[in-house]
Amino acid sequence: MNQEEENLKLKFNTIKIIMRKITLFLALLFVSAGVFAQTTWVADPNHSKLGFTVTHLGIADVPGHFDKFDVSITSSKEDFSDATIELTVPTNTINTRVEQRNTHLKSPDFFDVEKFPTMTFKSTSIEKVSDGKYNVKGDLTLIGVTKPITVTMNHRGTIVNAQGASVAGIQILGTFKRSDFGLGPKFPAPMISDEVIVKADGEFQHKK
């Protein structure tokens, strides 16, 4: 190999090394951008509600809600198409507007709040159905039992409020069977419907 060939080989190897470094730098930059683009949104408790409905005696719907809950949504996209949801609910905050019924629901006949003080939901996947509408799969843990459920998430829009903060409107709709969790086994349908309808509405802001 003559000197000219050696010089060309050296230049070629130098270019390869530089290209590897550039590629590595761009990869790291891309990963970093993806990490920092993740945004966590939390529900404004003054403008959010976690409600449910069961049917009593097969003829009347009875609504209820939880007075307290913590829910966050993490997403790197403006349309929430890659959102993950985490929900924690203190079960002793159940409220059906009737104190005697609330006390019964907190007892071992139903939520057994002394033994199981929290209910949780953690999403595992999200699938876009149409603009702003998604099917969200996740694990619901209730009275010590964890089961997969699927709910519908509606992104109702994101605006800037009077304080200059971005606010996203999110609605969750879904159903589950209480028999899957052993909730209230002494009270079969049609006394109380097996199907529980869940409806949650919230205004979410960036976590500070």
Q: What is the CATH number of domain 38-206?
A: 2.40.128.110
- Cα–Cα distance between 95 and 63 in angstroms, integer? 9
Query: Domain residues of the chain, as ranges?
Result: 1-37, 38-206
C-beta of residue 166 within 8 angstroms of C-beta of residue 160: yes
C-beta of residue 182 within 8 angstroms of C-beta of residue 51: no
Give the model's pLDDT for residue 101: 98
Work out the number of other CB atoms within 10 angstroms of the CB of residue 178.
20
> And the tokens for 83?
């959102």
Burial (CB < 10 A; 0-12, 13-18, 19+), residue 89, is buried
pLDDT at 178 over 50: yes
Q: Which residues contact 55 (CB under 8 A, 6 or more apart)?
A: 61, 62, 190, 192, 193, 195
pLDDT at 27 over 80: no
C-beta of residue 129 within 8 angstroms of C-beta of residue 98: no
Give the model's pLDDT for residue 20: 60
Per-residue exposure over 24-54, b if at least 16 CB sit within 10 Å of its own CB, e if not: eeeeeeeeeeeeeeebebbbeeeebebebbb
Q: What is the pLDDT of residues 104-139, one digit of tens each?
A: 999 999 999 999 999 999 999 999 999 999 999 999
What is the overall mean pLDDT for the chain?
A: 88
Omega into 190 within 30° of 0, i.e. cis?
yes
